[in-house]
Structure 1
Amino acid sequence: MPAEAGTAALQSRRFLWLYALAAAGGAVAYVPFLTILLPMRVSAMAGADDVAWLAFATFFGAISASLSNIAFGWASDATRRRVPWIAAGLLLSCLLLGSFGAVAGMVEVIVLLVGWQVALNMMLAPLAAWAGDHVPDAQKGRLGGLLAFAPAAGAGAGVLVTLPGLASADQRLWLVAALVAMCVAPVLLFGRPRDIPGLGRGQDAGRPEARPRGEAVRMWIARLLVQVSEAALFAFLFFWFRAIDPAMTDARVAQIFSLILLGAVPLALTAGRWADRHDRPFAPLMLCAAGAACGLLIMAGAPGLEAALAGYFLFGLSASVFLSLHSAQTLRVLPRAEHRGRDLGIFNLTNTGPSLVMPWLTLALVPAFGFTALFLALAAFAAAATILLWRLPRKL
């Protein structure tokens, strides 16, 4: 943290921790449902056509999430209020999530999925912008470190709700909804963030009214490149491990993935605090992007399971820390504070877009050239992200 930053200009630890809990609640809302509960429900309802129906559901869900995130970010900007939108989105998304147990046809599932994505992003978009309204630049590294809890919480919730004998298929939906409410409600009720001078919409802490758009564009492209790599690995990791070692099980892959998410938390906290203390917001991002590229190169040339695991651990830890820290440091480069909700919605396209791009990239490379070609292409993406971040100013 810069020495000149006084405590009066810092946000309270209570808000930071409760906000991190709310962000974890956002991950709990969609990770167990989209990765486990929805595919299981589609498989039970659609039978042999489950893959096609799940593809349709994923496509329309991603489109609705992308558009609604921008729309509700803009709406919270226009009304100059975040909390009512977050509370309304929390209530509606929890009710709609529990309602999936009452639908009987796949068309109804897709319609309800679109509605749930809209309601969920009514909560998520203002929640992301709320951090920009109240967390100063001197604490954005710490905020990014705390945001690393979110993916781990989402994975943990998936393990919890699927414990044998804990809940039926319909009860799992309401259990997830209850967990989300328990995570998000505390910051709405007890967060009480301090008003930090210069963070309000229309003012920018002694900086020019509008910041250069080139910095935001480079950050946007860098995140997209890393997200495409992360999405490809998330979707096809099991198949790659099985190609190397046929004895690899889905349970072991899930354990490896969970271990990486947990390991990323202390690394992100350490890197975020270092960035604040030394006023070097982009250095950890650049190093993580480079680490992801190196991990992918190791994976591309891995002769056996040990090297493959080493490469994946390096990539997974680097990408997880990168995405957490990037989410916080993005708030520093948005061009205008009064449009941060809308602009964060545009940044959210880097989260939803890869799910539309990644399958075509994989189909174009893997059948003809194998996973080595895919990993080399993804390594090039991560290396390009490193170069983009290296060109950012050392400080902003």
Structure 2
Amino acid sequence: MALSSPATGTADSPTGPRPTRGLLPLLLAGNTAMYALYIGVPGMLLALQIQAIDPADKVANFGLVSGISAIFATVFNPVAGALSDRSGRRNPWILAGGLLALPVMLLLGSVHTILLVTIAWCLGQAVMNIYQAAITSVVPDRVPMAARGKASAAVGLGLPIGSTIGALLGAAFSEHYRTGYLVLGAIVAATAVLFTGCAREERMPPKAALPVKEQIAAFGSALKEHDFRWAFIGRALLVLGYFAVAGFQLYILKDHTDLPAGLSPEEAVAILMPVNSVAMVVSTVLGGWLSDRFDRRKLFVGASAVLAAVALLIPAASASWTAMLAFSVVNGLGFGCYMAVDTALVTMVLPKAEDAARDMGVLNVANAGPQIVAPFVASLIVSLSGGYTALFLVAAVLSVLGALAVRPIRSVR
């Protein structure tokens, strides 16, 4: 059963909303701000804050905070998507989530215990996933099928650019993390205002309220569709491997990598992120464009997932600074292409256009769900093995399994 046609209904229908002029730059800006916070906070500021509170148990505490807060991300993403589907609007949810990011970041920078850090970052995950669920649904809502690769590339470029901004801000405010939190929250809030002010939307017909039992059942209905289920599995496996390593990057540089004399781990992050981002930009643009040109999504998704696995073998084989630089380049090439093309693939296997936000929210469980497991799994592997080499190897295996998961998809080449 071909699932791609229903998923294009809103953007391609003659009576549906036409894509907004200038939408792609706005999607780039909106996703850049989101990833700047996602990388800058847990990748740098949160890790430093937790280390300052309890340096002896930083790995276990960081895993605990990251895992519990990711549960909130998993819950709020599909719920917020379903609410925006029901309201027939995306912009108000983007605006609300973006504006709420600022006071929540203020709260996060003001607390001084692991318990309060956990609560504050849970709130941060909640509001950011309200924002994410709505902005993720803009592509299937407003972009024609033929342009999905380009639109997904614009979305995908937000990751390397946002990652660089987040890492540089995290390094710049490493000794003043409260100010860093505020800056990142302000960027998201300002971008939400920009996006909703410039990206006009035509209101879709609101959906009638369903009983709670039917709403819960509806969340899982998309996973009954063969192609969507395999896309979900593939994304979950690769993201699990990616975040098992990425979430502990600062600690890997502190405790695993042989850094050159005079180079601090925080400065190393600020170097690695731009290197990774340049590679990711190149592969995101080329991957999105080539997948449109050749109409081959599965090939690019599978190959890029395998390349991400190869990247993880480099720091497993060597703890040198050169190996980490090589890892950043190869990882950027693989992950950038994967996220750009896999996002396009996913929009083509959505079961129903009218449930686009809800089903994209369900898919985002494959992004947020593994983040629940990854910190616990990573901290357990590091504790049992006494280092990070085994973590790299496990993550590589997960990436290969993610590549294999796209093979059973039938409706997309």
TM-score when normalising by structure 2: 0.78
1-structure distance, mates of 2:398, 2:167: 32
- Per mean C-alpha deviation after superposition, the further-off stretch among 252-261 and 77-86 is 252-261
- Per mean C-alpha deviation after superposition, the further-off stretch among 227-236 and 72-81 is 227-236
Whether the 8 Å CA contact 2:23–2:199 is kept in 1: the answer is: yes
Partner of 1:290: 306
CA gap of 1:214–1:191, structure 2 versus 1, over 3 A, is same
SS in structure 2 at match of 1:114: helix
Deviation string for 1:302-347 (max 9, x for gaps)? 6977567545532342023212332333121111222222222222
Partner of 2:280: 264
- Write the letter of the residue equivalent to 2:80: F
Question: What is the CA distance between 1:201 and its match in structure 2?
Answer: 9.6
2-structure distance, mates of 1:94, 1:281: 37
* 1:383 paired to 2:400: yes
- Write the letter of the residue equivalent to 1:224: A
Could you tell me which of 210, 221, 237 is aligned with 1:225? 237
Partner of 1:114: 122
2-structure distance, mates of 1:69, 1:192: 23
Whether the 8 Å CA contact 1:60–1:114 is kept in 2: the answer is: yes
- Write the letter of the residue equivalent to 2:104: L
Question: What is the CA distance between 1:136 and its match in structure 2?
Answer: 1.9
- Write the letter of the residue equivalent to 1:269: V
Whether the 8 Å CA contact 1:291–1:318 is kept in 2: the answer is: yes
- Per mean C-alpha deviation after superposition, the further-off stretch among 15-24 and 298-307 is 298-307
- Write the letter of the residue equivalent to 1:77: D
Within a 5 Å distance, the mapping from 1:198-347 to structure 2 comes to: 213-236=225-248, 239=252, 243=256, 245=258, 247=260, 249=263, 250=265, 251-297=267-313, 300=316, 309-310=325-326, 313-347=329-363
Question: What is the CA distance between 1:66 and its match in structure 2?
Answer: 0.9
CA gap of 1:186–1:312, structure 2 versus 1, over 3 A, is closer
Question: What is the CA distance between 1:71 and its match in structure 2?
Answer: 1.0
Partner of 1:207: none
Question: What is the CA distance between 1:190 and its match in structure 2?
Answer: 1.0
SS in structure 2 at match of 1:353: helix
Question: What is the CA distance between 1:56 and its match in structure 2?
Answer: 3.4
Query: What are structure 2's unaligned runs of at least 5 residues?
Result: 1-10, 208-221
2-structure distance, mates of 1:369, 1:338: 49
- Per mean C-alpha deviation after superposition, the further-off stretch among 82-91 and 49-58 is 49-58
Deviation string for 1:86-128 (max 9, x for gaps)? 2111222222222334445543333332223222222111111
Question: What is the CA distance between 1:194 and its match in structure 2?
Answer: 7.9
CA gap of 1:352–1:144, structure 2 versus 1, over 3 A, is same
The CA RMSD over aligned residues, in Å, is: 3.7
2-structure distance, mates of 1:287, 1:316: 13
Deviation string for 1:254-288 (max 9, x for gaps)? 42343112221122112211212232233321221
2-structure distance, mates of 1:308, 1:109: 30
| Percent identical residues | 25
CA gap of 1:167–1:333, structure 2 versus 1, over 3 A, is same
1-structure distance, mates of 2:297, 2:163: 28
- Write the letter of the residue equivalent to 1:215: D
Whether the 8 Å CA contact 1:42–1:106 is kept in 2: the answer is: yes
Query: What are structure 1's unaligned runs of at least 5 residues?
Result: 203-209
- Write the letter of the residue equivalent to 2:72: S
Aligned residues: 381
TM-score when normalising by structure 1: 0.81
1-structure distance, mates of 2:42, 2:323: 31
SS in structure 1 at match of 2:280: helix
* 1:26 paired to 2:43: no
Question: What is the CA distance between 1:160 and its match in structure 2?
Answer: 4.5
- Per mean C-alpha deviation after superposition, the further-off stretch among 216-225 and 46-55 is 46-55
* 1:16 paired to 2:32: no
Partner of 2:367: 351
CA gap of 1:384–1:190, structure 2 versus 1, over 3 A, is same
- Per mean C-alpha deviation after superposition, the further-off stretch among 185-194 and 163-172 is 163-172
2-structure distance, mates of 1:296, 1:158: 22
